[in-house]
Amino acid sequence: MKYEAISNQLFGKNRKKFMAQMQPKSIAVFNSNDIYPISADSTMPFEQHRDIFYLSGADQEETILVLFPDACNPKHREVLFVRETNAHIAVWEGEKLTKERATEVSGIETIFWLSDFDKVFFDLMTEADTIYFNTNEHYRQAVETQTREDRFIAKCKKDFPAHQWAKSNPILQKIRGVKEPEEIALMQTACNITEKGFRRVLEFTKPGVWEYEIEAELLHEFIRNRSKGFAYTPIIASGNNANVLHYIENNQQCKDGDLILMDVAAEYANYSSDLTRTIPVNGKYTKRQREVYDAVLHVKKEATKMLVPGTLWAEYHKECGKIMTSELMGLGLLDKSDVQNEDPNWPAYKKYFMHGTSHHIGLDTHDYGALKTPMKANMVFTVEPGIYIPDEGFGIRIEDDVVIQENGEPFNLMANIPIEAEEIEELMNRE
C-alpha cells in the first residue's frame, strides 16, 4: 500500500461499536471484494470492500472477518481469515499478510488461514442463533454483478437454514456516518493532496490545453503524494461540457473565454475527498461568469452554515433550494411567475440546479451515513451547489468537504484550497 500505516486502535474502536449493537448470540461476517476480470488474464486493480477495511484494516483480497461477541471461547470473538502466503506468492505477487502482520494491522489476535474457514465457521455457527449478512443498502447503489458477499450469503442460507438472519447495513450506516478523529485526519490528508493537485493545475491551465492533460497533471500530483489516484472518476469539463453532470470523457480542448468545471479529488488510505472548482481557461472570469460564480459561492457559504447537529437532511435541502431560488432570480434566470407557478415536486430552481447540495463522504465518496435522522457532530458532508446554463455555454459548481462540529459552524477540510474568484485569478496569472 502507498499510504502510511494506520493505528489498529481505529479498527478496534470500530469493531467495538459494531458489536455493541449486535443481538445476543449473533455472529457477523464480512468478506473482501473480488478481483474483477477484464478479459484474457487482465484484471481491474483490486479495491477492498470498505466495510471489512473499516472493521479490520485488512487491505487485500480473499479475506474474511468474523465478529462473535458471545463466543464461548474469548479468542473467537474477533477472528480474521487471510489467504495463506508462501515464497512463490511473494515472488509473483509481492508481500501478503502473514498471521503476525495481520494482527499488527487489525489488532485482532486470532488469525486463521482462509483454508480453515469452513471448519472454524461451522463450529462457531453451532453456538450462534443469528447471522448478520452484509448486504448493500446504500440509497445510490445499483449493483448488477454478483459479489463475494452475495455468494457467501447464498451458501450460508443453504448450509445453515435453521439460523435467523439479520442485516449489518443498518448498524454500519449508523456508525460509519460519524467519524473517529483518526478518520478525519486521513480525510484531511486526502484533502491536502487534492489541494496540491489543484494548485498545480492553476499554474498549468491556459487556452489550448486539453482536458485530459489537466487530468494527467492531477494524477501525477496525487500519486507522488502517496495516493492511489482519483477518489472517483474525474470530471474535467470545459465550456458546455460542464452542463453534463457526470461528464467523464475529458477529451476536449479548453478554449479561451471558457470555464472549466473540475470535479476531481484524491483518495488516501481508501478515504475519499471530493472537490469541485470552476476556473477560467484564460485566468479571468467574464462579468457574467463572475456573477454566476459569486451566486454559487454565496449559496455554498449559506448552506455550510446549516450543517449543524440536529439538522434534518431533507429539510436542509429544501432550505438550500430557497437560497438558490433567490440567487437565480437575482441573475435573471427565474422570475416571480416561475416561482409562483412551480411544481412543488420539481421546484423552478431545479431547471438550473438539479442535484442535491450535500452527501456523506468517507471511505466511499458517497458514504454510508444516516439521512433520515438528525445530523450529528463528526459527520462529514460535501457542500456542492451549482448553476448550469446550457444557453450561455457554461456551468459552475463549487464543492468543499466539511466536518460537523458539536458547537459552531462546520470545520472545512478544504479551507486552504483557493475558492474566491480573486485568488483563483491571481494564482492563474502569477508570473
- The grid coordinates of residue 354 equal 438539479
Q: Is 88 a catalytic residue?
A: no
Among 71, 155, 72, which Cα is nearest to 118's? 155
Q: Are 401 and 358 in contact (CB under 8 A)?
A: no
Q: Is 163 a catalytic residue?
A: no
Choice among 203, 335, 355, 420 that is catalytic:
355
Q: How far apart are CA 142 and CA 28, in angstroms?
A: 24
Q: Is 41 a catalytic residue?
A: yes
Number of Cα atoms under 13 Å in the Cβ half of residue 14: 27
Q: How far apart are CA 296 and CA 265, in angstroms?
A: 20
Give the β-pairing of 78-82 and 110-113. Answer: parallel
Q: Is 232 a catalytic residue?
A: no
Choice among 397, 400, 401, 425 that is catalytic:
397
Q: Is 397 a catalytic residue?
A: yes
Q: Is 360 a catalytic residue?
A: no
- The grid coordinates of residue 136 equal 448493500
Q: Is 399 a catalytic residue?
A: yes
Choice among 76, 176, 359, 360 that is catalytic:
359
Choice among 151, 224, 246, 288 that is catalytic:
246
Choice among 51, 149, 258, 263 that is catalytic:
263
Choice among 399, 400, 401, 425 that is catalytic:
399
Choice among 384, 400, 401, 425 that is catalytic:
384
Q: How far apart are CA 44 and CA 37, in angstroms?
A: 6
Q: Is 298 a catalytic residue?
A: no
Q: How far apart are CA 168 and CA 29, in angstroms?
A: 9
Give φ, ψ of 135 to 5 degrees: -85, 155
Q: Are 171 and 23 in contact (CB under 8 A)?
A: no
Q: Is 293 a catalytic residue?
A: no
Look up residue 399 and give its DSSP letter: B
Cross-strand partners of 27: 131
Give the residue numbers marked as catalytic: 41, 246, 263, 274, 355, 359, 366, 384, 388, 397, 399
